[in-house]
């Protein structure tokens, strides 16, 4: 082992020694936080702990090569890396462990995620971008293993876009594409499909990405022989190694306890990725996990005595200390003094963090105890209230739940009483919940002035010269306007490039705007979404195309766990305004039905879900979204691309409002709500019903998340006194959601003279072909007969039984 790490710049021995000692201090600090953090969980002060012990040394090396503007996409063992960059200190570590709901104390997520999930702040208070090139950046972690990989691909691709596409204002985002995206993952998690999909996609795209695999030979309790072929991820990925004739990866293998080799490996990887835009895999071997996987169990249960002894001897911190001593960089006494000082520092940080966490609760407890004493003194149920009060007093270190629960339970013993003391308690409860609840619930969607629901409608304009064209032409020409006027926009997906998508909505646009902005991808939905998330995190405005709505299922984990939660889990400190374009509704067959709306509206809270009935509406949604900065899913009607529509003269400028329904036909007898392709069937049936004396009001939902923010549907129900929701999702799916929104949230139940009903698809997935569609999803006869039956029940004399 050489004494001096190979570094780019020549430095003096004193500077070199200072670097080594600083790294040693960070390694010890991180380890002490892990050890003391584990004890905090065991004492009950923290709920759960998962730490980075055993991975300190390679993270120090990675931090050395991490530059301003770079992005990390990692996982929950990277605390040493964050500490080495000055992005996490010991007190913040413990605040994260305790789940402190103060972003200034837990800057990673203000207690919304368990400790070990690291992110930085990309946004100013007004939602505008910070200059990301002047800071070191970390995209916010998610717990699902390998879930960070798709996003990593997009973070790296952004550098390629900034380097190769002219006209973009990259001031806050890139210095000629010189930024590297750094990924980290545990060796066992490389078994996940997201890892392999990302590896392949990055090799194809040739993006500046460095993936570190922390290999400690286990995945929780399961040994690598059950995880990876040959027990060696770099061995089985050898086929990705680039050579003279083929582009691919640079693959580096290094031991996790070898400080100088690690420094060299990471500097080499950084230079290759940064300058050549070549992805690099660093397989870091022979790492350990001194405390086991997490605080949920002990690794002594599944590791042999021999393995446990080997881990003690080869702990990277131990080997680092030995190397420092062997090379006379510091003495045993000097290192012992550092150890002692850092242990004191960590204990102090832990104590201060706990005091800051618990003190507001103790103060609130004092106030609440007085209120409980007061209401008890005036209540015939004072003995019951006294018990609640005494139980609360006995909790020396109360959490917020203890306070809220005690106060609210007390109200049960005050039913029917009317005293000033009771009102004071009620006021305290209301005030407390108003203060505390947003700490756990805010930022699901943007609350800034430019949020999508604030973008005003701009109606399409028509003239005597307006053409009647296929719907696809409207989309194509609208996208052409978007790409011509917004250089930061780009679109990519299966068949999106050369042929202009399967329905020709992008016809000719790749030739006009270039392969970087209108691009084909492989068949790999998870990383298509990942590309979009990563690029959106870095200031671009990507549109990720998923060929059919059903295929979105391949990317649902990434959408649900990563994109939809991003704003929420960063408390508004990061954003990824990704637009997902797809097509669905009425496509025939089990795997191409495009009807799984109930799943999407529940799993993608935090995104907008938009269901335009035609292409003018769809184009307007894209224009609206590009005026805001929030993620959305736009589902175009698959059977609408060849239908004729009048082409607006203000394409690219008209905006469809988000969260607003549209009444497409007024009527008096019953309100019928639908969306997408099924709405056209309802419109057809509306004409047929007029022949038997039934006049229905037809409303297009247009937007499912959010739905009808102006509560226009209930206004219709006030007039018609009846409600039917028509939906091609399965029973209990989207229609159940819409009925709850209308009858419960909007209060339409008060105006109903008939039971509100839904007509849905059958419980099974749709069968193939036109007959399969007819007997699987709502058809015109189903809708006609359902509405007629409702009117028959209300007025059997005028509407005799049909069958």
Give the model's confidence band at 350: pLDDT under 50 very low, under 70 low, under 90 confident, else very high. Answer: very high
Burial of 768: CB neighbours in 10 Å, binned 0-12, 13-18, 19+: middle
Asked if 510 and 545 count as a contact pair (C-beta separation under 8 A), the reply is no
Query: Which tokens in the block code for residue 639?
Result: 């059977």
Query: Which tokens in the block code for residue 14?
Result: 């004193």
* pLDDT tens digits, one per residue of 22-64: 999 999 999 999 999 999 999 999 999 889 999 999 999 999 9
Give the model's confidence band at 1: pLDDT under 50 very low, under 70 low, under 90 confident, else very high. Answer: very low
Low-confidence winner among 235-244, 351-360, 582-591 (lowest mean pLDDT): 582-591
The pLDDT value recorded for residue 514 is 97
Give the model's confidence band at 803: pLDDT under 50 very low, under 70 low, under 90 confident, else very high. Answer: confident
The pLDDT value recorded for residue 590 is 86
The pLDDT value recorded for residue 9 is 53
Closest CA to 89 of 101, 80, 78: 80
The pLDDT value recorded for residue 403 is 98
Give the model's confidence band at 300: pLDDT under 50 very low, under 70 low, under 90 confident, else very high. Answer: confident
Rounded average pLDDT over 391-417? 97
What percent of the chain stands above pLDDT 70?
Answer: 99
**Mean pLDDT rounded to a whole number for the chain:** 96
* pLDDT tens digits, one per residue of 335-347: 999 999 999 999 9
Asked if 753 and 722 count as a contact pair (C-beta separation under 8 A), the reply is yes
Catalytic residue IDs? 592
Residue with tokens 């960059």: 85
Rounded average pLDDT over 631-655? 96
Rounded average pLDDT over 158-170? 97
Asked if 673 and 742 count as a contact pair (C-beta separation under 8 A), the reply is yes
Rounded average pLDDT over 140-161? 97
The pLDDT value recorded for residue 455 is 98
* pLDDT tens digits, one per residue of 99-142: 999 999 999 999 999 999 999 999 999 999 999 999 999 999 99
Query: Which tokens in the block code for residue 235?
Result: 């061995």
DSSP notation for 12-75: -HHHHHHHHHHHHHHHHHHHHHHHHHHHHHHTTSSS-----TT-HHHHHHHHHH--TT-EEE--
The pLDDT value recorded for residue 589 is 84
Helices (H), ranges, 381-491:
382-394, 400-410, 420-441, 471-485
CA distance linking residue 42 with residue 22, whole number of Å:
31
Closest CA to 16 of 260, 239, 248: 260
Helix (H, G, I), strand (E, B) or coil at 490: strand
The pLDDT value recorded for residue 297 is 78
CA distance linking residue 296 with residue 220, whole number of Å:
10
The pLDDT value recorded for residue 6 is 44
CA distance linking residue 487 with residue 172, whole number of Å:
15
Residue 295 in this model has a pLDDT that exceeds 90? no
Give me the sign of the Cα torsion angle 723, 726, 729, 731: positive
Rounded average pLDDT over 718-740? 96
CA distance linking residue 540 with residue 519, whole number of Å:
15
- What residues form DSSP beta bridges with 184? 212
CA distance linking residue 186 with residue 188, whole number of Å:
6
The pLDDT value recorded for residue 585 is 86
* pLDDT tens digits, one per residue of 575-626: 999 999 999 987 778 888 878 899 999 999 999 999 999 999 999 999 999 9
The pLDDT value recorded for residue 296 is 79
Rounded average pLDDT over 164-188? 97
Residue 329 in this model has a pLDDT that exceeds 90? yes
Give the model's confidence band at 660: pLDDT under 50 very low, under 70 low, under 90 confident, else very high. Answer: very high
* pLDDT tens digits, one per residue of 67-100: 999 999 999 999 999 999 999 999 999 999 999 9
* pLDDT tens digits, one per residue of 512-563: 999 999 999 999 999 999 999 999 999 999 999 999 999 999 999 999 999 9
The pLDDT value recorded for residue 3 is 40
């Amino acid at each position: 082992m050489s004494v001096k790490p190979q570094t780019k710049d020549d430095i003096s021995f004193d500077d070199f020694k200072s670097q080594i000692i600083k790294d040693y201090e960070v390694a010890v600090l991180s380890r002490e936080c892990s050890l003391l953090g584990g004890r905090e969980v065991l004492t009950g002060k923290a709920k759960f702990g998962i730490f980075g012990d055993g991975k300190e040394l390679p993270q120090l090396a990675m931090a050395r090569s991490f530059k301003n503007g770079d992005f990390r996409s990692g996982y929950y063992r990277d605390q040493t890396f964050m500490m080495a960059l000055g992005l996490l200190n010991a007190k913040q570590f413990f605040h994260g462990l305790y789940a402190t709901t103060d972003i200034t104390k837990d800057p990673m997520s203000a207690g919304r995620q368990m400790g070990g999930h690291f992110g930085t702040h990309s946004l100013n208070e007004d939602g505008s971008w910070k200059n990301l090139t002047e800071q070191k950046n970390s995209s916010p972690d998610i717990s699902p293993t390998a879930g960070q990989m798709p996003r990593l691909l997009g973070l790296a691709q952004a550098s390629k876009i900034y380097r190769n596409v002219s006209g973009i204002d990259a001031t806050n985002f890139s210095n000629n594409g010189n930024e590297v995206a750094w990924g980290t993952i545990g060796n066992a998690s490389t078994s996940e499909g997201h890892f392999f999909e990302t590896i392949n996609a990055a090799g194809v795209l040739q993006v500046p990405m460095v993936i570190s695999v922390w290999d400690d030979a286990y995945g929780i309790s399961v040994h690598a022989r059950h995880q990876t072929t040959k027990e060696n991820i770099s061995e089985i990925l050898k086929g990705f190694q680039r050579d003279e004739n083929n582009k691919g990866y640079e693959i580096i293998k290094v031991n996790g306890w070898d400080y100088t080799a690690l420094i060299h490996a990471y500097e080499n990887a950084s230079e290759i990725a940064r300058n050549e835009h070549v992805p690099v895999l660093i397989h870091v071997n022979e790492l350990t996990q001194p405390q086991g996987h997490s605080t949920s169990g002990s690794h002594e249960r599944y590791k042999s005595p021999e393995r446990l002894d080997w881990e003690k001897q080869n702990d990277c911190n131990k080997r680092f200390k030995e190397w420092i001593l062997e090379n006379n960089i510091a003495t045993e006494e000097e290192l012992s003094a550092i150890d002692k000082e850092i242990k004191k520092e960590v204990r102090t940080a832990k104590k201060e963090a706990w005091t800051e966490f618990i003190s507001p609760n103790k103060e609130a407890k004092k106030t609440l105890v007085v209120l409980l004493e007061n209401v008890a003194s005036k209540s015939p149920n004072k003995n019951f209230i006294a018990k609640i009060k005494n139980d609360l007093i006995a909790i020396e270190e109360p959490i917020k739940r203890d306070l809220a629960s005690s106060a609210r339970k007390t109200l049960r013993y005050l039913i029917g009483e009317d005293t000033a003391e009771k009102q004071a308690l009620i006021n305290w409860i209301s005030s407390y919940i108003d203060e505390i609840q947003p700490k756990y619930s805010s930022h699901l969607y943007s609350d800034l002035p430019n949020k999508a629901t604030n973008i005003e409608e701009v109606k399409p304009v028509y003239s005597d010269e307006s053409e009647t064209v296929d719907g696809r032409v409207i989309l194509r020409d609208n996208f052409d306007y978007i790409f011509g006027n917004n250089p930061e926009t780009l679109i990519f997906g299966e068949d999106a490039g050369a042929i202009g998508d399967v329905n020709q909505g992008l016809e000719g646009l790749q030739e006009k705007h270039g392969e970087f902005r209108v691009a084909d991808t492989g068949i790999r939905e998870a990383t298509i979404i990942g590309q979009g998330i990563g690029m959106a995190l870095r200031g671009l405005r990507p549109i990720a195309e998923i060929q059919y709505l059903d295929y979105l299922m391949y990317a649902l984990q990434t959408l649900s766990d990563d994109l939809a939660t991003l704003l929420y889990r960063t408390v508004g400190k990061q954003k990824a305004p990704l637009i997902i374009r797809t097509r669905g509704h009425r496509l025939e067959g089990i795997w191409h039905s495009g009807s799984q709306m109930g799943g999407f509206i529940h799993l993608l809270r935090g995104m907008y879900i938009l269901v335009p009935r035609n292409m003018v509406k769809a184009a307007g949604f894209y224009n609206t979204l590009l005026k805001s900065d929030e993620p959305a899913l736009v589902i175009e009607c698959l059977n609408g691309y060849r239908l004729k529509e009048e082409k607006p003269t203000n394409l690219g400028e008209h905006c469809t409002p988000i969260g607003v329904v549209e009444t497409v036909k007024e009527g008096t007898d019953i309100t019928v709500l639908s969306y997408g392709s099924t709405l056209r069937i309802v419109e057809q049936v509306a004409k047929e019903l007029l022949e038997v004396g039934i006049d229905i009001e037809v409303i297009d939902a247009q937007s499912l998340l959010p739905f009808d923010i102006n509560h226009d549907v209930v206004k219709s129900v006030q007039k018609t006194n009846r409600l039917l929701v028509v939906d091609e999702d399965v029973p209990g799916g989207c229609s159940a959601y819409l009925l709850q929104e209308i009858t419960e949230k909007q209060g339409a139940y008060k105006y109903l003279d008939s039971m509100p009903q839904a007509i849905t698809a059958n419980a099974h997935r749709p069968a193939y072909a036109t007959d399969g569609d007819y007997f699987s999803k709502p058809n015109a006869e189903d809708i006609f007969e359902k509405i007629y039956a409702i009117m028959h029940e209300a007025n059997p004399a005028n509407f005799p039984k049909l069958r």
